[in-house]
Amino acid sequence: MKKVGVAILGLGVVGGGTYKILKEHADFYRETQSVDIEVESVLELDRARALALGVPAEKIASNIAEIVLDPDVNIVVECIGGVAAAKDYVLDALNAGKTVVTSNKELFAKFWHELERAARRHNAGLFFEASCVGGVPIIRTLLDGLQSNEVSSLVGIINGTTNYILTEMTEKGVSYAEALQTAIGLGYAEADPTADVEGYDAAYKLSILSSLAFHTKVPYTKVFREGITGVSEADIRDGSQLGYVLKLLAVGKKTPAGIEVRVHPAFLEKSHPLASVGGSFNAVFVRGDSVGDVMLYGRGAGELPTGSAIVSDIIYAATHAELHYSTFKNTAAPDKDVKFVTDFASGYYLRMTVADTPGVLAKISAVLARAGISIDKLSQRVSGDRATLVIVTHATHELAVRNAVSKLGASGLAEVNSVLRVIL
Ligand code: HSE
C-alpha cells in the first residue's frame, strides 16, 4: 500500500481539524483509497495544544528545517495563515520538492505566481481547495467537473462571518454592531473583524476563483470591494418590504467588455437561490456555457469543513501522480490584453431623506433622468416635514449613479443615506 507522510504547519482551528480527520479516517482511507496517510510531524509553537490533540511529543518539530529535510514527509499542509512565516515555509517546502496543501487565501491571492513558479521548478504539487469557501469543493469543481465549460459568471456568498451578521440583522432586526458582537461571541468573527467585514477575505477568494473560472490572472487588487460596515437596519427592513434580502456577494463575470469582479452588499430577490443561504453558510452559483447553472452550498469555515477540503487535497495528491498547475499565465500582473470592467451595470437601491414639499419627487426624478437612470420601484415614508424615499432603479451604471448621488447632495434636494446594488 502506498504510504504518504504528512506534516502540518499550525494546529489552530483548521490544522487541528485536519489532524483529527486524518487520525479518525486513517483506516477508511486505507480501505477506500489504498493509501496509508501518516502524520509524520507538526509545527506548532503551542506544544500544549499539539499534545492535547494527541500528537506524540516526538512528532512536534522545532523548526521548518526539520520538516523539509525529513525524507518521510511528502506533503506539507500549511495552516498558519497570513503571509509572513507561511510564505517562507511554503516556499521552503516547495523548494525541497514537497507537495504543499494550503488553506491560505491571502497567501494565494497575493503570491500564487511565486508559489507556482517554485512548485513547477521542483516538480512539487500545489493544492489550495481549502483556501476558498471552506468545505465546499468549488476549486475541484472548476478545475475538473466544469473544465469542459466556458464559464461566464460566478456569483457567491463566500464569507460566512458577514453572512451570519447580515442574517442576524435580517431575522432579528438588530443593528450591525449588535450582530457583530454576537458573531464575535460565537467565534464566527475575529476580535479584529476587518478582513471579513470589509470584504478583503471575499476579495481574495474571488480573485482565486475568477482566475480559475476565466483562465486568466485576476489580481485581488482588481476586485471592486465594499464591506458591510455601513449597512443599517433601515436598509434591510426597507429592502425586505420591496421583496429583497441583503447579502455580501462576490460577483465575477466574463463579458465581451472584459472581466468584472466585485465584492459588495447587494439585494437579491427573495426567490433567488442564494437568498435562502443563511447564517454562516456559503454558496457559489456558477454559469457554464454547456452545463448551464450549477450551485454548490455548504460550510465555508470551521475546523472539520475546512479540514475536509485539506484532507481531500491530500488524498488527491497521494493518488494522482501527474502534476497540474494553473491553466493561465500565472504572473503577478494580469495579461495586458485583458480588460477589467470598473463601470459595471446593476440595479441600485437609493435611500434618501427629503423635505416633504410639493415638487421634490419631480425634481429628484429629473436629476436621475438626466443621468440616464430609470426608476423601477419607489416607496415613501413621511415623518413630520421630512420623508424617506426608497428608489430602486432599472439597470444602470455605477458611475452614473455616483454622479447622480453627488448632484442630489450638492443641490440640497436630498440627503442620500444609502446606495446599495440590486442584482437584477
Ligand atoms: N473568515 C472566513 C469566513 C472563513 O467568515 O467565511 C475563512 O475563509
Q: What are the tens digits of pLDDT across the range 271-281? A: 999 999 999 99
Atom of ligand 1 nearest to the CA of 188: 5
pTM over 0.85: yes
- Domains along the chain with CATH numbers: 2-131 (3.40.50.720), 138-299 (3.30.360.10), 345-422 (3.30.70.260)
**Which residue, judged by its Cα, is nearest atom 7 of ligand 1?**
301
Please, which pLDDT band fits residue 190 given cuts at 50, 70 and 90? confident
CA of 171 to the centre of ligand 1 (A): 21
Check the CA dihedral 355-358-363-364 and report its sign: positive
Atom of ligand 1 nearest to the CA of 162: 5
Which cell goes with 315? 488524498
> Pairing relation of β-strands 151-157 and 99-102?
unpaired
How far apart CA 81 and CA 154 sit, in angstroms, is: 25
CA of 168 to the centre of ligand 1 (A): 17
**196 C-beta closer than 6 A to ligand 1:** yes
Q: pLDDT tens digit string along 316-357?
A: 999 999 999 999 999 999 999 999 999 999 999 999 999 999
Percentage of the chain beyond pLDDT 70 is: 100
Q: What does the angle CA 383 – CA 387 – CA 389 come to, to the nearest 5 degrees?
A: 135
CA of 65 to the centre of ligand 1 (A): 30
Q: Determine which one of 98, 205, 247, 254 is catalytic.
A: 205
Q: Give catalytic status of residue 205 as yes or no.
A: yes
* Arithmetic mean of pLDDT, 280-297: 97
**159 C-beta closer than 6 A to ligand 1:** yes
CA of 239 to the centre of ligand 1 (A): 26
How far apart CA 183 and CA 185 sit, in angstroms, is: 5
Q: Give the length of the chain.
A: 424
Which cell goes with 257? 467588455
**CB proximity list for 362: less than 8 A, separation 6 or greater:** none
Atom of ligand 1 nearest to the CA of 190: 1
